[in-house]
Each structure stands twice: as C-alpha cells, then as structure tokens.
Amino acid sequence: MKIITGVDILDEEIKKKLRTENIYKIFNNFIIPLITEEEREFLEELEQFLLKEIEPKMNLSEEVYELFPILGKKHYIQRLNPYGDSERYSMRYEMLLAMATSIIDPELDLARVVTGVIFANPLFQFGTGNRISEILNEIITGKKIGCICITERKRGSDAVNMEMKVEDKGDHAIFTGEKLYTTNGPVADYFIVYGVSDVSDPRGTMYQAIAERGYEGLQTNRLGIQSVPRVQIGQCLFNSVKIPRDNILGDRGQGYKNLFSGLVAERCSIIGSSLGIAWLTAVTGLIYTNLRIQFGRPLYDFQGISLPQAQNFTELMAATELGLKSAFEYNKTIERKHFDQQKFIKYNAAFSSGTKYLASHLAHKISYETQQLCGGIAFTDNLRIDKALEVAKVQEIIGGARNIQLYLVSRAIKDMISLL
C-alpha cells in the first residue's frame, strides 16, 4: 500500500525539541507519580531501548514487522504473561509497554498487541505441550507473527453466532469458512481461529484452535485499510483446513469460554495503546504551540490555545489513572481465587469496557483537536499527529466499537437495579 511522504518544512529548533526523548521526558513527569518504583525502572529502561534500538530502524515507508525481532530481544513483544527470567510481567507492565511503544510508533504497537497479547495470551492460558511452547517462543522472540480470527462477513458484533464450520475427526478438526479484519493476518505465521460444529448451538459447540501458515486450504488476502498502511489487516479463508489435536486450545464448547475469558486482556491492552497515542499527540501539541511564534508570541499564549490543551491534559491524566486501575483490577481477577470469582469477572468486564471506550475515544479526540490547534503542519508527516489520529480511529473500533463498549457498561449498570 503506497505511503505518501513529503518535504520537511518544520523549523529546525522546534524539530530538536520534538525529539521522542523529550516527549518521553514530559510523559514521564505526568505518569511516574501514578506508578511504583519497579514500574518506573521498567518504563525508563524500556524507553531507552526504544530510543536506541527501535527508533533508528523505523522506516515510515515500510511495514512494522521487521521491528518485531528487535522487540523480541528483550521480550518486549508482550509483558502480560511471565516468560523468561524477568519478574516484570503483569497487566500494568503490559500497559506501560503499550503506552511507550505507541508514543514512538503507534502502528508498531497496534501490530505488537495483536501478536503478543491477543494471539499469545490464549496460548499462555490454555495451551499445553511442546508444540505450543515452540510457538510461544517464536512469537515472544518476534521471529514469528500471530493473529486472531473471529469476525466474519455476516458476523461482527454478533460474533458468537459464527458460521465457520468445524468437523471434529478425533485426532484433528477441519475448519471451513471465512474470517475478516484479521490484524497481521496476511503476514501471520500462526492464526487462532474460532468455529462451531453446530451453528444452532454456537456456545455449546465452539472450538478454539491454532492454524499454521502452510496448512493446506489456508489462504490470506489483504484488505484496503487506509489508516494503517504499515500494518496488514486481512481476510483469512479456511477451505477444509485440517488442524491437529495438539493445536486445539479449546475443545467443543470450551472454545466459547476461552473466547470470552480473553476479552478483558484485549481491552486493557488497547487501553494502553490508546493512552500512548493520546500522550504522543498531547505532548507534541504542547511543545509545538509553545515554540511556534506568531505575531511575536507563542501560539500557546493566545489564539485560544492553552485552555483546550489544559482540558486535554486534565482528561488524559484522569483516563491514565483509570487505565492503570483497570490493569490492577485485571491482575486481581487472575490472582485472587477466594471470593465470588464469576461476579468479579463480570464486574471487571464492564470496567474494562468503559475504560476502553474512554481511552480510545479520548485518543481520537485529543489527536484531532491537537491537529487543529497546531495547524497545517500537523497534517503532514513532519509531525506524528496525523498518523496518530489515523491509528486512533482503528484503536477506537477494534476490540469492539465504542457503542458496543457502552452497551456492555449499560447492562452492568442496569444489573444494579436487582439490588433494590
């Protein structure tokens, strides 16, 4: 997909101040009071790694996937599930990883979250055996790419009633059907796919399995998603694809439970990515409007610039604290087993939906408003604002569009009436 680049017209002094290391400095000043000392150390080490190892190799005219093995050196493909000898794994660490990576490259983080969390988390939670361990190692080191196949042509928000057909043959299962909007799909090596053996009973007959690139009958094509040209999003066709028993994560009926148990982790990761986009554009706008001079004065000091930015930062600080709280609540769901677990999971699902709505909507809003405050240059590739805005549009709809997230919250609120 063609990527448009153009001439550099940004003032040299402003360009120096807009370096990523300066954006991180301001971002850290806001976020460090919200995190622990161990999390601060992790964040600062991560930022230095991204500045030294990722940023020099970024090419906005090329896809993001060549950067995966670099992230994999330090297991920065994901930080949700323990892997290797580091103890710095939890949803809060994953959220910090998403924020810092989105600041340096929002498209990279979009693709990273899909392979590292949305694909890999089910393997951590439900996978067993040597083959699963081999796949996880390839994914976490960035050598291979994962994707997830849920949405279908006629099944978007109605994903449960999927038409992907599964025939259980004992030592293997055969998947037949089509999946759409598979982020990383056209270049993926591994595919988590869901299907049902009885379309009239999807909850009781849903399977969750891993298909591998090279399986006979598996074909992928790219969709024309204009907002993220460096990330491939596509169509996956399963024409009687034979998947061995060792690659089935969720057998008949268990696939449905596995699917829904992973949604909170997905939303929390998207929260982190969205917050990173919002911080990138908010801080970029703050720096630019304080250094851009018109009528002999910084833009920030007049033309109605400062108050909208103050509002953006106020809302962003609140959303960031709520995002970190949602990560904490997710960790409690995983760690605590001594109380009404089902009730707590239901609460956390609504909490994460509301926070995902807020963070992704705010990322879009702040990016758009900052573009307006900075003027024409914010529409060029001289600043990262326009790119951030485009990725924010995608983040707002993946993992469930904002109306779906609000619908889930509305149901949880209505449940409170039963307390009367």
pLDDT tens, residue by residue, 188-243: 999 999 999 999 999 999 999 999 999 999 999 999 999 999 999 999 999 999 99
In a domain, 347, yes or no: yes
Each residue's pLDDT tens digit, 268-292: 999 999 999 999 999 999 999 999 9
The CATH number covering residue 76 comes to 1.10.540
Q: Are residue 240 and residue 263 in the same domain, yes or no?
A: no
190 and 265, same domain (yes or no): no
**Is 410 domain-assigned?**
yes
| 319 and 340 inside one domain | yes
Residue 277 sits in the same domain as residue 412: yes
In a domain, 77, yes or no: yes
Task: List for the chain the helix, strand, coil content (%; round to 5).
Answer: 60, 15, 25
291-348 residue pLDDT tens? 999 999 999 999 899 999 999 999 999 999 999 999 998 888 777 654 455 666 677 7
| Tally of domains in the chain | 3
Q: What pLDDT is attached to residue 336?
A: 64
74: phi then psi, degrees, rounded to nearest 5: -110, 20
Q: Which pLDDT tens digit goes with each residue over 257-266?
A: 999 888 899 9
pLDDT at 176 over 50: yes
| Statement to judge: residues 122 and 30 lie in one domain | yes
Give me the residues paired with residue 147 across strands.
191
The C-alpha angle 91, 92, 93, rounded to 5 degrees, equals: 90
Last residue of a domain, one of 84, 112, 140: 140
Residues 209 and 65 placed together within one structural domain of the fold = no
Given 253, 279, 295, the domain boundary residue is: 253
* pLDDT score, position 300: 96
β-strand partners of 294: 297
8 A C-beta contact, residue 286 and residue 378: no
Q: Are residues 154 and 128 in the same domain?
A: no
pLDDT in the model for residue 339: 46
Residue 340: CATH number of its domain: 1.20.140.10
Residues 97 and 218 in one domain: no
Q: Is the pTM of this model over 0.75?
A: yes
Domain-embedded: residue 7: no
Q: Calculate the average pLDDT of the chain.
A: 94
Domain assignment present for 2: no
What average pLDDT does this structure show over 75-93?
A: 92
In Å, what is the CA distance from 152 to each residue of 155, 193, 396, 404?
A: 5, 11, 19, 17
Residue 1: inside a domain: no
Domain range for residue 341?
Answer: 258-419
pLDDT of residue 331: 86
Q: Say whether both 275 and 369 belong to one domain.
A: yes
Helix residue ranges, H only, 32-129: 37-49, 68-73, 91-104, 106-113, 120-126
240 and 332 fall within a common domain = no
Domain boundary among 124, 140, 156: 140
Q: Residue 6 domain-assigned?
A: no
Is 219 within a domain?
yes
Per-residue tokens: 297: 């004065």
Residue 386 reports pLDDT greater than 90:
yes
CATH number of residue 213's parent domain: 2.40.110.10
Do residue 377 and residue 392 come from a single domain? Answer: yes
Q: Are 300 and 393 part of one and the same domain?
A: yes
